[in-house]
Amino acid sequence: MRLTGKVALITGGAAGIGKATAARFAREGARVVLCDVNEEKGRAAARALGSEHGFYRVDVTDREAVQTWVDDVMARYTRIDMLINNAGILADATLVKVKNGQLVKQMTQDAFDRVIAVNLKGVFNCTQAVAPYMIRQGNGVILNASSVVGLDGNFGQTNYVATKAGVVGMTKVWARELGRYGIRVNALAPGLIATEILRSMPGDILDGMRRRIPLGRMGKPEDVANAYLFLASEEASFISGVVLRVDGAFVVGT
């Protein structure tokens, strides 16, 4: 019960890593408030946690909606101890595709902008809304979802890699800016995690991915949730500004 009495906000909490993290934090005694754009799954996830936990439909790209969410949580729970910036999307494509010397396809402006808006601006929006409350409390923990591809790059993911590398940079800045107020800021860089999206891929592709993981298996959402739990707990009270890889020593392919 390492999080007893704490209030944790988790974005993208309706499924995958966010949902697993919510369940883990709740078992450790935290009151968990989820947000997601998928209202049906989000409300189901919150109900499964119990009546003292909550869900809000929030688009993290909407700064006003984020502020309303955070203000309402404060009014209801009177404190915010942890923010897990987990929400994210994919829209993969190569920068350009050329055939016989001619441009035949490229990453669209919309695909680039949508991923930037959710994965990078969304993290900025939520952190900026929460930080003043944590400053007044004199403590808090902010944990940001990066990725191994944000550290190593990956073919066909210009937009996604840009956001996850940007999250690393913001994490390091905020650790410096907010540390004086007792707020710790860290990032996680998961590798191949068996979420709903990944499990839907063809078996031969999944087998090829597994072969690039020295530990011989894909990660589970609970593996990432456990890492979030450690960084949120007092056991990590002198850890700030770090990026923790949770990847089984994954080797990013080309």
Helix axis angle, 109-116 to 158-178, nearest 10°: 30
Of the candidates 250, 206, 236, 242, which has an alpha carbon nearest to the alpha carbon of residue 3?
A: 236
| Burial (0-12, 13-18, 19+ Cβ within 10 Å), 55 | buried
Q: Which residues are catalytic?
A: 160
Instruction: Decide: 17 and 190 in contact? Cβ < 8 Å.
Output: yes
